[in-house]
A and B are shown apart, each in its own frame.
Chain A
Amino acid sequence: MTENQTETGSNAAESASGSLDIGGLAGVFGTSDHKNIGRLYIFFGLSGGLLALILNIFVRFERINIGSVGILDFGSSNQFFQTWSLSRTTLLFFCVLPLLIGLASYIVPLQVGAPSLSFPRAAALAFWAWAIGIMIHVVTVFTDGGLGEPDPISQFAQGMDPDATELSMLSIAMVVFALLLGTVCVLATIISQRPQGMTLFELPLFSWSMLIAGGIWVLALPVWLSNLAVSWVDFQGADALRYGAVENIWDQLSWLWSQPMIFAFAIPVLGIAGDVLPVSLEVPQRKYKVQQIAIGAMGALSFGAFAQPFFNPDVANQAVFVVMGILIVLPILVFLGGLVDTAFRGNLSLSAHLILSVVGVLALLVAAVVSAFHVSGPAVGAVQELNDSWLDGLISWLRDVQGTVLATAVMEHALIASVIGIIAGLYFWAPKIFGYQLNRNVGILSALTLLGGLALSGGSNIINGILDEGDEVYHSSAYEGVWDTNAVEFFNIVGAIGSLLLLAGVGLVILDLTISVILRKGNEENAKDPWGGHTLEWATDSPPPTGNFTDAPVVDNERPLLFPAVTGGDKQ
């Protein structure tokens, strides 16, 4: 790896600024500029989001019956689970994580007053390794690979190709390794490139949330890679014994999409909202350190590498897991309280990024509440000395819902909250990233569409979870043992409509980006600081020149543009 020698102050004076110029093909394929890398992540990440949501719609349609006939038949459980698992891997690794790392790659160096990302060539390597890896992974799944399926091994002969499956495992390992490398570049920038006077407690909330979230990813994703390594080594043998058997691979890896770990991928939603709301309301964020502590607490409560049901089947009944699942609500409530407190003192004017960030935080809160409900069986069981028959029934029911689509509802709310938060960040930072504002009305329409989509899609999963619809099961057995088949079928249709709305919401954002940025129809007036920003990224041109700043400024508070460190340093 090389240190950031490529973009320095001397180069900065020679470069063009204030216009979107990515430098042609050489700028795309040969760049180590954090701004181009960030844009590339955002472009590919939104494309990945479309793919993930289309796959999610296929999975939804598979569960819909008209009369007694399903409207979409995958042909075999194998193909269903390949699609099902790919919809999850793409949503996380092809959409949420790259979008977060892309946004952070662009914004974090600006927020901390750095000339570039730490190790810019390593960051470029990470991006291209990720892009190549995720494309190989998607192709392998469509060629009968994938990360296994939960049915018995006899299904293997129905379609899964061992070579493609092995390549699926290797490619997803490459993807995670690349994302880790990209994360480390962001973290190193935050830790070591802050300007004089900016302590960690003066970091802008988005950078702070990326520090917390990235730290959790760096600690948890290697554990996931170790699971994958064990599976891959076992898969090499003539006969996989346990870890590499196709019916076991996904079970070893699924903890990444389960609580509490899934919340680690939604932590930056709070950071984005914490940066967007005070600026939109034209007031400083109240109780700044409390907000930072809330984000830190959410990080601590979302570390889930220990919660691996494959190796510890009893984990859902263990105190640490249950307590973490319930307490995760608190930091989000505290953070929301801080936002509300700030909002009461501000001037409310509805903007797309304001609405999107509020929707993102609320979606995350719903995810946390459903998570608390999902794990609460053993907690209620702890007060079993009441010895009431109805209480026993309640405990039994709460334990039963743990194997249902309620788990999917938690995952869906957390990851879609993250997507909504990222879109809020895109609308907020679009002038800085692209030099153009995105269309406010389209943004608000997108926010409402995503909110409606999540309410229908996630809400239907919550209700069907309560009605005992099984998770990770193929069509033929999905309705076994449910309380009311008609109700479950109805809510599966509702959920499919919700999935379509989610796709439409993300599609609207891509359409807006295309028209506003690629076709250059967006508003470029006052692009340098259209919202009256509080943090350092708004102190330089939009898009910033190479090197970002002529000199790193002195900072002594978390709102350096609102309260400059030295008298006379008025914001331009």
Chain B
Amino acid sequence: MNMATTNLPAAPPVRSRNILVSVGFGIAAVLMYFGGLFGVYLRERSQVRSVGGSWIPDKARIELTPPGMIIWTLLISVAVMQWAVYSIKRDDRQHALLAVGTTLAMGAMVLVQHGWQLSQMNLVADEGPTTAATLIYTIVGSYMVAFVIGMIFVALMGFRALAGQYSSRQTDGIVAASLYWYCLVFIYFIIWIAVFIAK
């Protein structure tokens, strides 16, 4: 069959970095999405406060214990996720899978704590909807969606590692999942400070 391409010399195969590059662009997109939300939140908050208004509804309860627990859980999960990367780079698949599983368990804990916190905040029950409630629900809700996507991504990469696709010669999938996970932790750190601590 005539393939009729050019006589240009053939190149040796180059290892593709597709997944790392794509996740890099994905992380940039997620950071810009939350950057947009934080920008709106902080601007609206400052405008309300500049005229002496109360940003968080008076009867809302934003306690620091759940966000504090979430941030500690996430910080520990960073070390655990890095353990997965460390293990896969040394062909220690057993520990890599253990670390991925532990990270997912921590992720489930974070979701439960988020759900509990949202049910306790009383943002709209007594005073009706407010712009603060709208923005907080948008930020936290978007974060939960991004977080679930992250858990699916980590689980998928874990299954691929289980199937033998990732090893010390090819770690891109686990590394990419870990980078996205660190991005999620960073975003929650901003939520923790800008929304829950600064109120």
Smallest Cβ-Cβ distance to A189: which chain B residue: B18
* 24 examples of A-B residue contacts, CB within 8 angstroms: A3-B16, A3-B19, A17-B1, A184-B26, A188-B18, A191-B21, A192-B21, A197-B11, A218-B32, A220-B32, A222-B30, A222-B33, A223-B36, A225-B33, A233-B137, A539-B5, A539-B6, A541-B5, A552-B13, A554-B11, A561-B6, A564-B8, A566-B9, A572-B7
Flag whether A429 is at the interface (Cβ < 8 A).
no
* Alpha-carbon gap, A75 to B30, bound state (A): 42
With an 8 A cutoff between CB atoms, is B94 at the interface?
A: no
Tell me how far the C-beta of A36 lies from the nearest C-beta in chain B, rounded to whole angstroms.
Answer: 20
* Contacts A192-B18, A220-B32, A233-B137 given; does A541 touch B4 at CB 8 Å: yes
Stretch at the interface among B70-78, B97-105, B126-134: B126-134
One digit per residue, 1 when the CB lies within 8 angstroms of any chain B CB and 0 when it does not, for chain A 382-400 equals 0000000000000000000
B17 touches A192 (CB 8 A): yes
Q: Beta-carbon contacts of A528-568 to B below 8 Å, as 1s and 0s?
A: 10000000100111000100011111110000110011101
- Provide the residues of chain A in CB contact with B16, threshold 8 Å: 3-4, 118, 192-193
Q: Answer yes or no: B125 CB below 8 A from chain A CBs.
A: no
B174 to chain A, nearest CB (A): 15
Give the residues from 166 to 222 in chain A that come closer than 8 angstroms, CB to CB, to chain B.
180, 184-185, 187-188, 191-193, 195-197, 218-222
Contact (Cβ within 8 A) A233 B21:
no
Q: Is the CB of A570 closer than 8 A to any CB of chain B?
A: yes
Q: How far is B29's CA from A227's CA once the two chains are assembled, in angstroms? A: 14
Question: Closest chain A residue to B22 by CB distance?
Answer: A188
Which of B1, B28, B29, B32 gathers most chain A CB within 10 Å?
A: B29
Instruction: Tell me if B40 and A119 are in contact (CB < 8 A).
Output: no
Determine whether the beta carbon of A229 is less than 8 Å from that of B37.
yes
Q: Name the residue of chain A whose CB is nearest to the CB of B124.
A: A237
- In whole angstroms, what is the CA distance A244 to B141 when docked? 17
Does A12 interact with chain B (Cβ within 8 Å)?
yes
Contact (A305, B36) CB under 8 Å given A237-B134, A539-B6, A553-B9:
yes
Our pick among A180, A188, A539, A553 for the contact of B29 (Cβ within 8 Å) is A180
Q: Are A528 and B7 in contact (CB-based, < 8 A)?
A: no
User: Which residues 30-66 in B have Cβ within 8 Å of A in the complex?
Assistant: 30, 32-37, 39-40, 43-44
Tell me the smallest distance from the CB of B161 to a CB of chain A, in Å: 15
In the bound assembly, the distance between CA atoms of A13 and B5 in angstroms comes to 12
Residues of B within 8 A of A185 (CB): 22
Asked if A226 meets B9 with Cβ closer than 8 Å, knowing A13-B1, A239-B129, A311-B40, the reply is: no
The answer, among A188, A311, A536, for a CB contact under 8 Å with B43, is A311
- Other than A196-B11, A221-B29, A242-B134, give 13 A-B pairs with Cβ distance below 8 A: A17-B2, A17-B4, A119-B18, A192-B17, A226-B34, A233-B138, A237-B134, A311-B43, A540-B6, A550-B3, A551-B5, A569-B6, A572-B4
Question: Cβ of B198 < 8 Å from any Cβ of A?
Answer: no
**Chain A residues, Cβ within 8 Å of B13:** 552
Q: Does A127 contact B (CB under 8 A)?
A: no
Given the interface pairs A233-B141, A305-B36, the reply to whether A119 lies near B22 with Cβ below 8 Å is: yes
In whole angstroms, what is the CA distance A549 to B13 when docked? Answer: 13
Contact pick for B6, options A180, A224, A225, A572, CB 8 Å:
A572
User: How far is A555 from B25 in the complex, measured between Cα atoms in Å?
Assistant: 26
Q: Which residues of B contact A227 (CB under 8 A)?
A: 36, 40
In chain A, residues 9-65, which have Cβ atoms closer than 8 Å to a Cβ of chain B?
12-14, 16-18
B contact residues around A571 at 8 Å (CB): 6-7
Across the interface, which residues of B come within 8 angstroms of A225, CB to CB? 33, 36
Question: What string of 1s and 0s marks CB contacts (under 8 Å) between A308-345 and chain B?
Answer: 00011000000000000000000000000000000000
- Distance A18 CA – B141 CA, assembled complex (angstroms): 51
A184-B22, A226-B33 are known contacts. Are A219 and B7 too (CB-CB below 8 A)?
no
Residues of chain A within 8 A (CB-CB) of B37 are 226, 229-230
Tell me if A1 counts as interface (CB < 8 A to partner B).
yes
Q: How far is the CB of A77 from chain B (nearest CB, A)?
A: 26
